[in-house]
Amino acid sequence: MNAEERKQLLDAYLRQVGGQLIVSCQALSHEPLHGSEIMARMAVAALQGGAKGLRANSPEDIRAIKQKVDLPLIGIYKDETPGLEVFITPTVWHCLQVAEAGAEVIAFDATQRPHPKETVPEIVRAVHEQTRCLVMADVSTLEEGLAAEAAGVDLISTTLSGYTPYSRQNEGPDLELVRELIARVRIPVIAEGRYHYPEQVKAALSAGAAAVVVGGAITRPQEITARFVKAING
């Protein structure tokens, strides 16, 4: 896929999700709502609530959601490698599985941490050569975002801020990183990571984020419950 084709796909994607809410429908194997059929129903609920895009984990969940909901989808594939911290779509193989499942955008860990096989530029190049998907870099710092842009990604997300030991450890979203990236990169920035309240989403959009991804605050009832309990108990 050449640069002009990628630009057309990116423009089309932003027409759908620009300035809007993207809902992440994920449940890991140890969580109560784990299961592709459940995630597909969660995606239907997100659609009915007004979401304009989705984010989902694993080829199985992506296929199930795509059968139920016609919204553009950011796909990931979480898979741990012993001895490494990178687990969000960590290799080209994982990216290709996500593409085959039907995702429009492939997100992957683009942090500076060691990857199990290919480098960040190699992953980006392979996805652009072998699929018709956009590539989104999940980063935790400004420096990682700049490196991801140089590697040729189509979008940057602030997903991993606070999840690497060297990034800001905020309790809430890293709006400062959103602002830093928007000031320095020429590609769209998606705000993601610990967006718990509508006011935070509006703040990110006001700062210039192309869209905002919200996950746990909408689709993880155990996290929502725990937040209420924490407020009660102090």
CATH architecture of structural domain 3-233: Alpha-Beta Barrel (3.20)
Question: Residue 199 has what pLDDT?
Answer: 98
Confidence band, pLDDT 50/70/90 cuts, at residue 75:
very high
Residue 25: which H helix or E strand, with range? strand 21-25
**Amino acid identity for residue 58 in this structure:** S
Question: Residue 178 has what pLDDT?
Answer: 98
Per residue in 118-155, pLDDT (tens digit) is: 999 999 999 999 999 999 999 999 999 999 999 999 99
Answer whether 43's CB lies under 8 Å from 75's CB: no
Confidence band, pLDDT 50/70/90 cuts, at residue 115:
very high
Residue 234 reports pLDDT greater than 90:
no
How large is the average pLDDT for residues 177-198? 97
Task: Give pTM, 2 decimals.
Answer: 0.97
Answer whether 52's CB lies under 8 Å from 65's CB: no
Distance (Å, whole) CA 225 – CA 230: 9
Write out the DSSP string of 203-215. HHHHTT-SEEEE-
